[in-house]
Each structure stands twice: as C-alpha cells, then as structure tokens.
C-alpha cells in the first residue's frame, strides 16, 4: 500500500539528515510539466529539479534510452573505453568549440575538476605560487569543500572553516573590482554567466568581454560555471554565446542528465593537458548509462529549432511577468533573467508567495529572500505560463492585500 504524504514526511524526518528545508510535499509521479503528490493532487512544476529536468518529468525517449542501454552495459570505470563516453565528448566539444571533455557525477564535481585543472595548469606553467582564483560575491558553485570555498556566500561557509585557501571574491559585474583583484598570483577567474542561486542576476553589457580581456592580459584562465545555464536554459546552447566570449574551461550538469546524475568539464587543449594520467579521476563518471542518456538529451537540446522555441517562449514569459509588474507596481520591483531562467523580484519576502502558489498547484521557489525564480522545463508552453501568471496575481493579492 502506498504511503501518504504525512507518512512519507514522518519517515523522512526520522531517518534523513535534517540538512534541507523541504517543502511539505511528497511527489510520487511526474509527466511533462505535471507532477502529482501522494494524495493525487496535480501541480505544474516551474522548478524542474532546479533547472534540471529540461524535458519535464519522465520523457518517454529518455526512459527508452535508459532501458536499452541498461540491457547492454551499465558501468566499466575509467580503466576502459566505452562507446557512449567518446560519442558524448565529441558532441559537446564540437558544439562548444572546446577540445576536451571529462565526465563526473554532478555539477559540484565538474567545478572541482575545473578548479584542479586551473591550478595544475598554472603550476605547470608558472610554478607553485600562482594559485589564486577569483570568483564573485553572491555566487554558487556547489557544496563540496572545493566548490563551497569558491562560492561567494559567507553564510554557506559558516561552520566549515577552514575553507580551501586561494579564493578571492569580487562583486559580480564590477570590472573595476576585478581589475583591482587580478594580479600575477591569479591562475583563473571563475564566474556564472547568470547567478542563479544569487537571485537570477545578469551582468551589465560588455562585462564578460572585459573579463576575458583581463584574463588574457594576466594569462589567467576564464572558467564559466554553466551548471544551471548550460545546454539550452538561456535560449542558446551555452550561455557564453550571449556575451561574445569563449571560456577556457566550461562546466555543465543539470540539463545534461535531466535528473540522472552527470557532470561535465570541457576545456581547451592548453588547459586540459594539465590533468595528466593519475592527476584526476572518478569511479562512476562517464558510465555508459549516463553517457547514452546524455547523447540523446544533448542532440535534442542542441537542435536549432528547439533553441528557437525556447527563445520564443522566453519572450512570451518575460512579457507576461512584465504585465504582472505593471499591474502590481507596489509589489513587483523587477523582472530579470535570460531565456527560461527568469525571476520576479518583489519588494517583500517571496517565500509566502511561493507557499501560496504551491497551495494553488504551482511549484516555484523563492531565492535571495525577495525573488521568485522560474526555471521550468524547456518544453513549457504559453498556456502553462498563462496559468502560472494568473495564479501569481492571485497569490500576491492574498499574501499582500495592501499591494494592489
């Protein structure tokens, strides 16, 4: 007999680490944008596993790929070649214009690889004293010790000191601050094209071009953390396309597996050659099951017609969110974001509005205190967006009745 939501939560509270603030909701089934809880209530999911389920929940083509590959080969480790890993590497390097790929199990691991690669590259060229990596305040790069050390949020460091040394934080989008920080000790600059956990923050025009110029001037590597933005989320194959730059190292996750654990680190030949045999590896990274799924997902996302549809739906979504801002100017401060990584910035806490939306059957998450973040499956349609936006107006009026 299936468990109820109450039973699932009680069992989890007894046996799971209490390290996550979960919403009081137990999901048991999904299809496309729709998910159902243990009692059968339907929700439209605009979180998508935090920008992960690019094709929604349980896409039939993905189930088919996993089933077929599971009957051939699951895991062989990196001691041997396998066909899916080299095919996916070829697809991603060709699409990105980078030269080499390494596969891991998560975005955090992909960023760990990037950090190690940058430091080893600098060590090989300049010796041991050039190891500083500049990242941005308000950034998020993962929860492992290396990735959290690179994350520019002091609250996430609390209790875990000492952090991995050598990271320096500057305000995102501030070229002058970066120029003051970058020096002969700097081996890399590591940035998100859009700060997702930081509240869906985009940089000012021309920022990344100046960052790239500073990196080249100081012979530092430019690392783009595209765990959230990579593979279609911004309406381009990779977010760096929006800024007319090309990173030396690029990290991917989330959409590459659409919920199946996978991460990737792409790099130029110059940067990649730093990681020689024995310097870095992972037991499960590049397993045939994950790679076979990644191949099919990447092919579909990289299709120009698919990306054009993401851009079209994004324009519609931005328009509808802008309508909400116009209708409730006292409550809504700003609409921001890129592609289908969007935010409604409120003048009041966003958490209660997120709770009200959940009660109405819509899943969105609140981040950076006053931000409602929308990262739906890339297959979201205009009707689903209209339903959400009508519910947002209702939720705003319920939570903040004086804001009309």
Per-residue pLDDT tens over the stretch 283-304: 999 999 999 999 999 999 999 9
What was the pLDDT predicted at 144? 97
Which residue do the tokens 């697809």 mark? 91
User: From CA 204, how far away is CA 266, in angstroms rounded?
Assistant: 26
Question: Is 225 marked active-site?
Answer: yes
User: From CA 265, how far away is CA 226, in angstroms rounded?
Assistant: 10
The domains located in the chain, with CATH, are: 5-59+305-403 (3.90.1150.10), 73-301 (3.40.640.10)
Question: Is 140 marked active-site?
Answer: yes
User: From CA 307, how far away is CA 233, in angstroms rounded?
Assistant: 9
Ramachandran category for residue 369: left, alpha or beta (phi over 0 → left; psi -120 to 50 → alpha): left
User: From CA 312, how far away is CA 188, in angstroms rounded?
Assistant: 35
Mean residue pLDDT across the chain = 96
What pLDDT digit, counting tens, does each position of 237-272 carry? 999 999 999 999 999 999 999 999 999 999 999 999
What was the pLDDT predicted at 126? 96
User: From CA 218, how far away is CA 208, in angstroms rounded?
Assistant: 15
Catalytic residue of the set 46, 55, 102, 140: 140
Side by side, which strands form the sheet with 371-374?
Answer: 332-338, 341-346, 371-374, 365-367
What is the three-class DSSP state of 312?
Answer: helix
- Which DSSP category does 161 fall into? P
Total-model pTM: 0.96
User: From CA 375, how far away is CA 227, in angstroms rounded?
Assistant: 13
What was the pLDDT predicted at 175? 97
Q: Concatenated DSSP letters for 194-249?
A: SBTTTTSB-PPTTHHHHHHHHHHHHT-EEEEE-TTTTTTTTSSSSGGGGGT---SE
What pLDDT digit, counting tens, does each position of 372-383 carry? 999 999 999 999
Question: Is 55 marked active-site?
Answer: no
What was the pLDDT predicted at 403? 77
Q: How far is CA 66 from CA 266, 289, 300, 339, in A?
A: 24, 6, 16, 29
pLDDT band at 404 (very low <50, low <70, confident <90, very high): confident
Which residue do the tokens 């998020």 mark? 140
For residues 235, 92, 103 and 254, what is the CA-based torsion angle, rounded to 10 degrees? 10
What was the pLDDT predicted at 368? 85
Please give the average per-residue pLDDT across 343-353, as a whole number: 97
pLDDT of residue 20 exceeding 80, the answer is: yes
Q: Is omega for the bond preceding 215 within 30 degrees of 0, making it cis?
A: no
What pLDDT digit, counting tens, does each position of 220-244 carry? 999 999 999 999 999 999 999 999 9
Catalytic residue of the set 254, 300, 317, 374: 254
Please give the average per-residue pLDDT across 83-95, as a whole number: 98
pLDDT of residue 386 exceeding 80, the answer is: yes
Catalytic residue of the set 225, 237, 243, 374: 225
What pLDDT digit, counting tens, does each position of 148-203 carry? 999 999 999 999 999 999 999 999 999 999 999 999 999 999 999 999 998 999 99
Which residue do the tokens 């319920």 mark? 398
């Amino acid at each position: 007999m299936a468990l109820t939501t109450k039973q699932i939560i009680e069992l989890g509270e007894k046996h799971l680490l209490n390290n996550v603030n979960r919403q009081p909701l137990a999901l048991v089934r999904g299809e496309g944008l729709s998910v159902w809880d243990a009692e059968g209530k339907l929700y439209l999911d605009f979180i998508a596993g935090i920008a992960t389920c690019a094709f929604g929940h349980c896409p039939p083509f993905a189930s088919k790929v996993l089933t077929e590959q599971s009957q051939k080969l699951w895991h062989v480790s990196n001691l041997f070649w396998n066909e899916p890993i080299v095919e996916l590497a070829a697809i991603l390097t060709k699409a990105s214009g980078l030269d080499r790929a390494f596969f891991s199990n998560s975005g955090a691991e992909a960023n760990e690889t990037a950090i190690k690669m940058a430091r080893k590259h600098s060590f090989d060229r300049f010796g041991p004293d050039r190891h500083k990596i500049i990242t941005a305040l308000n950034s998020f790069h993962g929860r492992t010790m290396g990735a959290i050390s690179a994350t520019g949020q002091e609250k996430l460091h609390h209790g875990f000191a000492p952090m991995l040394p050598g990271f320096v934080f500057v305000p995102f989008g501030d070229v002058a601050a970066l120029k003051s920080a970058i020096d002969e000790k700097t081996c890399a600059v590591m940035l998100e094209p859009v700060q997702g956990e930081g509240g869906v923050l985009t940089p000012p025009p021309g920022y990344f071009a100046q960052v790239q110029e500073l990196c080249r001037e100081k012979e530092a590597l430019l690392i783009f953390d595209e765990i959230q933005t990579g593979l279609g989320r911004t309406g381009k194959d990779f977010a760096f396309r929006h800024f007319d730059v090309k990173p030396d190292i690029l990290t991917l996750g989330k959409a590459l597996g659409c919920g199946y654990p996978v991460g990737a680190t792409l790099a130029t030949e110059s940067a990649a050659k730093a990681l020689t045999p024995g310097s870095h590896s992972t037991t499960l990274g590049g397993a045939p099951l994950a790679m076979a799924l990644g191949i099919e997902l990447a092919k579909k996302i990289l299709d120009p017609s698919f990306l054009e549809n993401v851009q079209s739906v994004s324009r519609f979504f931005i328009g509808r969110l802008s309508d909400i801002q116009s209708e409730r100017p006292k409550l809504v401060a700003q609409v921001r974001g890129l592609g289908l990584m969007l935010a409604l910035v409120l003048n009041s806490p966003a958490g209660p509005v997120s709770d009200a939306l959940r009660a109405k059957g819509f899943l969105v998450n609140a981040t950076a205190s006053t931000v409602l973040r929308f990262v739906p499956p890339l297959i979201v349609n205009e009707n689903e967006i209209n339903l959400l936006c009508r519910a947002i107006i209702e939720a705003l009026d319920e939570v903040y009745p004086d804001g009309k």
